[in-house]
Structure 1
Amino acid sequence: MTSEKAADDAEQGYDRGLGSRHIQMIAIGGAIGVGLFLGAGANIAKAGPSIILMYALAGVIAFLIMRALGELLLYRPVSGSFAEYSREFLGPFFGYFTAWTYWLMWVVAGMAELTAAAIYVNYWFPSIPQWVTALTFLVVLFVANLVSVKIFGELEFWFSMVKVTAVIGVIMIGLGVLTLGFSAAGDTASVANLWQFDGFFPQGIGSSLMTLQGVMFAYLGIELVGVTAGESKNPVKTLPKAINTMPWRIMLFYVGALTVILCLVKWTRFSSGVSPFVKMLDVIGIPAGAGIVNFVVLTASLSSCNSGLYCTGRMLRTLADHGEAPRVFSRLSSTRTPVLGIAVSALIMGVGVGLNYVTPHKAFDYVVSVATAGGIWLWLMILISHLLYRRAFRAGRLSPSPFPAPGGALNSWVALVFLLFVTGLIAADAGTRVCLYVMGLWALVLGGSWLVLKDRMPQISECKQPVLEKLD
């Protein structure tokens, strides 16, 4: 069985029940999550107003990554997505490593989302332990993920609609305060707040750059549209549209929202663990509004965790179809969902519940750093696969994609160098360096398991030669 044949077989049994509006809102929702609603508070405290520039810079890189992925997706749309492209262009081990690492990334990101959700609930009920809330949400989301992909699409559509409406509402209220001067914040609200308190880089450029590791976490999930390719009704039409609308989403939801917030509230008033959206409405004097936003960002966290369970179940099935995970994970339920993969992923996410019990104040920082490291590996594989695809295409070995990335290989090189720079920042920070140790241990575990299992995987011995070797 060839690698491509295994990938095609992986699609059999799935229900192509995700329409255009589902894909669009999943793409939007993937770019709005805990990294903006909660993580931005800590980043503002570290970088001041310059955090706007950091989110914009990271957003440009995220778009370049997505255009590279888009070219690959339209070359061959499969639910295994980037793991399949790593397998095709770099070889079976890289497909194995990427698929398992993506699974780990979403499991860990799910822990972060559960942690954030527990923090949000503490806004109303501070006496409830974080671990109790996190466990409750995990159970509810697990049950929700046992339904068909159509129901999943509907849930994510409305989850994303709530998030989009909330961000736009906050922006409109903020602009009203800036232009009309109403509320208690009207007297101090000014665009000058972006530079008059120790400048645009109040903590120095170095401190601003150090926030890039946390900022990149905010964009984890943008690649979710790639996983939906195998269950999209018309991927050739819906995927390019979803990817091309990414720049305006970044400008509106990140750059626009943070600019308005920092014009209304002095940057020194933000801190870790406090949503900047809630803080802004508190300063304006709309306590009920802050409670509403807190509810919205709670649903945002649950939406992201829900997406994580969706992704992990599909990725485990892809691995199982290649013989790289127990075959039982390839089974689908009567509703054509990979139930066992979802169940195991939810069980592992329960580790995050335990982390909330042991270190409730550090849980979010720990899981964010590990998830970011996993995301960087994933994005590096997308970019390297894209570079090799372009190389093979120019050599006449592969057919052209109907959705070529602008700038071709050059932009992928730019994004790749940027990601390596962010990795260096992670290594330089003692507080986040632990995630590299975790990823190193993870690499040893996967490398060891590969050596043990590869001779038992018939697909590997029959797999076609990777493009990298054929071109050398």
Structure 2
Amino acid sequence: MTSQTTLERPGHEPGEPDRPDSSDGLQAGLKNRHLSMIAIGGVIGAGLFVGSSAGIAAAGPAILISYAMVGLMVVLVMRMLGEMAAARPSSGSFSAYADQALGRWAGFSIGWLYWFFWVVVLAVEATAGAKILESWIPGVPQWAWALIVMVVLTATNLVSVGSYGEFEFWFAGIKVVAIAAFVVVGLLAVFGFLPGSDNPGSGLAHLTDSGGFFPEGPGAILTGVLMVVFSFMGSEIVTLAAGESADPQRAVSKATNSVIWRIAVFYLGSIFVVLTLLPWNDPSILEKGSYVAALDSIGIPHAGQVMDFIVLTAVLSCLNSGLYTASRMAFSLGERGDAPKSFAKVNRRGVPQAAILSSVVFGFVAVFFNYQWPDTVFQFLLNSSGAVALFVWLVICFTQLRMRAIILRESPGKLVVRMWLFPYLTWATIAMISFVLVYMLTDDTAREQVVLSLLVAALVVGISLVREARSRKASTDG
């Protein structure tokens, strides 16, 4: 492990235990309210606002079952990750646990794949945010807006982990308030209790009045699963961030226990409102987007602009968290000798500056590819990282199978969060995720993502195995 500067304990909120900075040099600068909002906002990505209309068009009201199935997978995976993270908080989270439980090759491979996923996401979100900002202020070109948001959020992450937490607290807060208000106002309109609503308030009729609950057949549920599964990525961020909080065990336990209601309210609740306000095949859902169409049906003025602001907030939140997550994974890889040693060094503010700048440089390069070669190079990056979320969840499952015994042997008192019905639900989750991956191979649009992601994964695993072999040979020769 590299040597770091000893750091002062940052200020903390009343009720938080005094905890010295972690031995790896990172500051315990995230407060309870930061962690709470990171946990809540982590499951609300821009994909929920932007991508839900395509899922509704593909499966009709049955998309609710698709969201419920993926939500169940996420709840189970988060429970497993919570068990490990509460016992052993780490900035490397599941990558560090895979290192301990499955071998160096596993920690190396999933860590770099996860880093790759998030730096590609940086480019996607920066471009999405730039499009919205350009529509508001067309005098500034789109590429300049992408550059501006990347620079601002890079600076935020470089200042301190507390500044990241503060920005994320407000970004996530806006998303949470917006969706909660949408659900409440929408339900009032659905059942005819909203004064001045333009919506006829049909109750639950729209769930079945346009071809039934399964208008595209039961098989469309699985198609819906493929379309919504990646909008759930980000739930695990809180387990990385917990390592820089005053009380990581409490933060992880709280986040793990609340993931069920978060998914139920924000995903199932909001999609249910859309489907009950409008028939699933209403053209406006695809034309305007599901949430804008729903707001328009009620008669909310300037619904498009309101939703653009909320989507921009979600985009900035995702950018902020994506940069934080990629840098902390790079930091952890550096600590374990799986990345350049400079990645594991922190500055006097307890920030892994080299890890942040390296991550954002790749993000800038990906943004350039998106503008220069959107249909070739950038599309390859998108597809080759597309199935990484499922790989990460699979690794978490297999890691937890081994880590339970390790924790029980070395520190049983720290097993404060336990996976339900272990090991049966763990194996059931592995089966569910494997089924989704296999089903993706049968889908024309998803097949390329799985194949390219598998090829990239195989390449990374191959590199890790070669490194291990060389390391063993060097130690034998020595």
Q: Which runs of 5+ in 1 are unaligned?
A: 2-8, 463-472
Are 1:84 and 2:120 matched, yes or no? Answer: no
Q: Specify the code of the residue in structure 2 equivalent to 1:162.
A: I
Q: Given the alignment, which residue of 246, 258, 261 partners 2:274?
A: 261
Give the stretch that moved more between structures: 186-195 or 223-232.
186-195
Q: Which residue of 1 aligns with 2:187?
A: 175
Q: CA deviation at 1:115?
A: 3.7
Task: Kindly provide the CA deviation profile for residues 398-419 of structure 1, in whole angstroms up to 9, marking residues without a partner as x.
Answer: 6361211121211111111111
In 2, the alpha carbon distance for the partners of 1:305 and 1:91 equals 31
Q: Which residue of 1 aligns with 2:312?
A: 298
Q: Which residue of 2 aligns with 1:236?
A: 249
Q: Is the 2:240–2:325 Cα contact (8 Å) retained in structure 1?
A: yes
The 1:316/1:163 distance shift into structure 2, 3 A limit, reads: same
Q: Is the 1:213–1:372 Cα contact (8 Å) retained in structure 2?
A: no
Q: Which residue of 1 aligns with 2:150?
A: 138
Q: Which residue of 2 aligns with 1:432?
A: 446
Q: Which residue of 1 aligns with 2:79?
A: 67
Q: Which residue of 2 aligns with 1:318?
A: 332
Q: Which residue of 2 aligns with 1:196?
A: 209
Q: CA deviation at 1:163?
A: 0.6
Alignment length, in residue pairs?
453
Task: Kindly provide the CA deviation profile for residues 352-394 of structure 1, in whole angstroms up to 9, marking residues without a partner as x.
Answer: 4235425769999877655441111111111101112235567
Q: Which residue of 1 aligns with 2:428?
A: 414
Task: Kindly provide the CA deviation profile for residues 29-50 of structure 1, in whole angstroms up to 9, marking residues without a partner as x.
Answer: 1011112111112111111111
Q: Specify the code of the residue in structure 1 equivalent to 2:96.
A: E
Are 1:339 and 2:353 matched, yes or no? Answer: yes
Are 1:21 and 2:33 matched, yes or no? Answer: yes
Q: Is the 1:181–1:187 Cα contact (8 Å) retained in structure 2?
A: no
Q: TM-score, normalised by structure 2?
A: 0.86
Q: Is the 2:87–2:249 Cα contact (8 Å) retained in structure 1?
A: no
In 2, the alpha carbon distance for the partners of 1:371 and 1:136 equals 25
Give the stretch that moved more between structures: 22-31 or 169-178.
169-178
In 1, the alpha carbon distance for the partners of 2:370 and 2:198 equals 35
Q: Specify the code of the residue in structure 2 equivalent to 1:151.
A: S
Q: Specify the code of the residue in structure 1 equivalent to 2:62.
A: S
Q: Is the 1:130–1:356 Cα contact (8 Å) retained in structure 2?
A: no
Alignment of structure 1 residues 48-127 onto 2, 5 Å: 48-121=60-133, 124=136
Q: CA deviation at 1:213?
A: 2.2
Q: CA deviation at 1:126?
A: 7.6
Give the stretch that moved more between structures: 51-60 or 342-351.
342-351
Q: Which residue of 2 aligns with 1:465?
A: none
Q: CA deviation at 1:72?
A: 0.9
In 2, the alpha carbon distance for the partners of 1:186 and 1:193 equals 12
Q: CA deviation at 1:287?
A: 3.2
Q: Specify the code of the residue in structure 2 equivalent to 1:418.
A: M
Q: Which residue of 1 aligns with 2:262?
A: 249
Q: Is the 2:126–2:150 Cα contact (8 Å) retained in structure 1?
A: yes
The 1:181/1:44 distance shift into structure 2, 3 A limit, reads: same
Q: Which residue of 2 aligns with 1:215?
A: 228
The 1:324/1:93 distance shift into structure 2, 3 A limit, reads: same
In 1, the alpha carbon distance for the partners of 2:377 and 2:56 equals 19
Q: CA deviation at 1:425?
A: 2.4
Give the stretch that moved more between structures: 212-221 or 80-89.
212-221
Alignment of structure 1 residues 420-459 onto 2, 5 Å: 420-454=434-468
Q: Is the 1:86–1:95 Cα contact (8 Å) retained in structure 2?
A: yes
In 1, the alpha carbon distance for the partners of 2:243 and 2:310 equals 30
Q: Is the 2:83–2:416 Cα contact (8 Å) retained in structure 1?
A: yes
Are 1:155 and 2:130 matched, yes or no? Answer: no
Q: Which residue of 2 aligns with 1:5?
A: none
In 1, the alpha carbon distance for the partners of 2:271 and 2:428 equals 26
The 1:336/1:436 distance shift into structure 2, 3 A limit, reads: same
Q: Specify the code of the residue in structure 2 equivalent to 1:347.
A: V
In 2, the alpha carbon distance for the partners of 1:306 and 1:134 equals 13
What percent of counterpart residues are identical?
Answer: 37
Give the stretch that moved more between structures: 281-290 or 22-31.
281-290
Q: CA deviation at 1:11?
A: 4.4
Q: Given the alignment, which residue of 317, 321, 327 partners 2:341?
A: 327
Q: For residue 387 of structure 2, give the secondary structure of its aligned residue in structure 1.
A: helix
In 1, the alpha carbon distance for the partners of 2:444 and 2:188 equals 42
Q: TM-score, normalised by structure 1?
A: 0.87
Q: For residue 180 of structure 1, give the secondary structure of its aligned residue in structure 2.
A: coil
Q: CA deviation at 1:109?
A: 2.5
Q: For residue 211 of structure 2, give the secondary structure of its aligned residue in structure 1.
A: coil
Q: For residue 416 of structure 2, give the secondary structure of its aligned residue in structure 1.
A: coil
In 2, the alpha carbon distance for the partners of 1:207 and 1:127 equals 43
